Structure 1
Amino acid sequence: MKNWIGILLLLWISPAFAQEEVLRIGVAGLNHGHVGWVFEAHKRPDIEIVGIAEPNRALAERYVRAHGLSMDLIFESLEEMLEKTKPEAVTGFGTTFAHLEIVQQCAPRGVHVMVEKPLSVSLTHAREMATLAQKHQIHLLTNYETSWYATNEKAYELFKAGEIGEARKIVVRDGHRGPKKIGVGPDFLDWLTDPVLNGAGALMDFGCYGANLSTWLLDGKRPLSVTAITQQLNPADNPKVDDEATIILTYPSSQTIIEASWNWPIGRKDMEIYGLTGAIFSDNAKQLRVRVAKGYDGFEEEKMDLGARKAPFDDPFSVLKAVVRGKTKLASFDPYSLENNLIVMEILEAAKESANTGRTIFLEK
């Protein structure tokens, strides 16, 4: 009899437990090339897309058919989707310019938000988003692919453990052959190469990675100055925005160089940290090298092949769920964090000003 009671009790509580475990998310926009990630997450038992805000009916129908979903999920506006589906969190997969509106709509309703990098198109937008998030006590995360990399996590751990001494130079290189050359869809290409909807070109699209990683590695230090040079090396494909950007950040005892480009022949997301006694090379998502200096130009090198990061940091939607449910608290200046990404936007804003004026921009203390 006791066994039957236990089984009945388990059957009764299981649906409620399962419902509690599922994170109900809304999707704001479908014209971002990364949107496939959220549809893959929907296949998981713990993530459910409850609504999609997308005014472009043809675009919505294309994605719904491709992923075997119902058009009942599609809403003309974000406001309508929020009111009718009541998601716990919203993921932004539209233009970067639209990120502000997402927070304006979600924050007063207590709905948490995760956007694709960068946080916003401007520092003004970023600060308004932060004010709303703080006022209404929602989580506002920014997702970078490099936040999933076990190599970057390991590089951070080794650096903080003093394996190469105090940092003197950080070099971060990100990019590819350019949006048009790699074949991004027309809906993505239209706004990615628009200076208003994307904020700039390669400077915003890939400069944000280096600013984000530098801020994380240096415990949230703001640079003393920002100097940037941008070029338009492929005006036929990128007539309205830069496609080449080099950004130099100076700190009291180190320098960061960010090389963001839509002209790399081979796609890359790599990072180098140079300390007083050695260097760490995060070559990609899985391969890491550590060199310890020996003599003038000699070194001992250790190579590491790493797998995925441990859950929940192996996947952005797992991070979102863990943070929303209070199971994970982001560390100070974590790459996903709002405090980190406000500094990122300060750096990118200064970089745009520097590139436009030809001057080094000194940040206010």
Structure 2
Amino acid sequence: MPTYSKRYVSLIFSLLLFNDAFAREGLKVAVAGLSHDHVHPLLSAYQRHEVDILGIAESDQALIRRFQARYKLSDTLFYSTVDEMLQAVRPDVVLAYNAISEHVKIAEACLPLKIPLMVEKPLAINNEQAQRIAALSAAHGTAVYTNYETTWYPSNQALKQMADGGALGTLKKVIVKDGHQGPKEIGCSEAFLSWLTDPEKNGGGALIDFGCYGANLMTWLMKNQRPLAVTAVTRQLKPAVYPNVDDDATIILEYKGGVTGIIQASWDWPYSIKDIQVYGEDVSFHANRR
């Protein structure tokens, strides 16, 4: 089982504590799904009484029993669907830990009720679903957050500040490396793997799982400028392990002014890596994962 930093939980809470009342009274959350392994730090925080969980929507009874045994969760917390849960409880925010393809359905349940939503990256499996979520957010004036953890690494924040302050001069090239040995290899749960390696539920493999980090960082560094051209090459280096999705991807982004972004996303690195290298006219910065 992978381990997660407390900083991950702190980030979620800091994003969502936009109301002073939440800070005073404590954040009241509801959970949509338990199949994403990133739910573990939230439940650990619940055990430490750092967050109040009002309800959990999950239909997989075996998964429910496993989490109940590990975190001592009461039967009264559980609901079969998000709609059923939101009829019974009114949280400050819903946190989604399920397949990427299901984010749009959760948005359709939460946003008309003006309940903010946080989903794990990426936002959606395709542009149609992303646009649907964006339209719901705008129509109901309710925020949707996507957790791209690399954006809030202190090293990347420092890099962005230096770049914005002119320390790079003219930006020339960005190389982003994100990935690890593979989700099976690092011990992701079967519930997580069941959709993470399904192209219909995740949208792809390493391209989606890790390529989205680089796309997010490039958009951030380029101040929301759209690329002029995008080229991607995907490969299956371990087809016996991941027969249905790519496990290695290289994405090249070309921007106005000659800036190039190279994103290397893989489930075949020899170790976990989330690095970014930024090159200017005379200097370069290298931000490690920390």
TM-score by length of 2: 0.90
Whole-angstrom distance in 1 between the partners of 2:277 and 2:185: 27
User: Retained in 2: the 8 A contact 1:115–1:141?
Assistant: yes
1:255 aligned residue (256, 260, 271): 260
Any stretches of 5+ residues in structure 1 without a counterpart? 1-16, 286-365
Structure 1 residues 172-208: Cα deviation after superposition (integer angstroms, max 9, x where no partner): 0000111111111111111100001000000000000
- The aligned amino acid for 2:54 is V
- Matched residue, 1:162: 166
Higher mean Cα deviation, 123-132 or 19-28?
A: 19-28
1:49 aligned residue (48, 53, 62): 53
- The aligned amino acid for 1:262 is W
- The aligned amino acid for 1:260 is A
Structure 1 residues 139-183: Cα deviation after superposition (integer angstroms, max 9, x where no partner): 100002213310000000011111121110001000011111111
SS at match of 1:277: coil
- Matched residue, 1:3: none
Aligned length: 269
- Matched residue, 1:277: 282
Q: Assess, with a 3 A threshold, how the Cα gap between structure 1 residues 19 and 150 changes in structure 2: closer, same or farther.
A: closer
Any stretches of 5+ residues in structure 2 without a counterpart? 1-20
Q: Say if 2:107 is the partner of 1:112.
A: no
- The aligned amino acid for 2:266 is S
State the 1:224 CA deviation. Answer: 0.5
Q: Say if 2:151 is the partner of 1:147.
A: yes
Whole-angstrom distance in 2 between the partners of 1:44 and 1:105: 29
Whole-angstrom distance in 2 between the partners of 1:18 and 1:166: 42
Q: How many percent of aligned residue pairs carry the same amino acid?
A: 43
2:37 aligned residue (30, 33, 40): 33
State the 1:20 CA deviation. Answer: 5.1
SS at match of 2:284: strand
2:90 aligned residue (58, 67, 86): 86
- Matched residue, 1:196: 200
- Matched residue, 1:103: 107
2:226 aligned residue (203, 222, 229): 222
TM-score by length of 1: 0.72
SS at match of 2:109: helix
- Matched residue, 2:75: 71
State the 1:76 CA deviation. Answer: 0.6
SS at match of 1:66: helix
- Matched residue, 1:266: 271
Whole-angstrom distance in 2 between the partners of 1:45 and 1:58: 25
- Matched residue, 2:127: 123
Whole-angstrom distance in 1 between the partners of 2:148 and 2:48: 21
User: Retained in 1: the 8 A contact 2:82–2:106?
Assistant: yes
Higher mean Cα deviation, 21-30 or 208-217?
A: 21-30
SS at match of 1:273: strand
User: Retained in 2: the 8 A contact 1:168–1:255?
Assistant: yes
Computing the radius of gyration from Cα coordinates, the structure with the larger value is 1
User: Retained in 2: the 8 A contact 1:21–1:46?
Assistant: no
Q: Say if 2:259 is the partner of 1:243.
A: no
- Matched residue, 2:9: none
User: Retained in 2: the 8 A contact 1:22–1:45?
Assistant: no
- The aligned amino acid for 2:196 is L
Structure 1 residues 42-61: Cα deviation after superposition (integer angstroms, max 9, x where no partner): 24555211100000011012
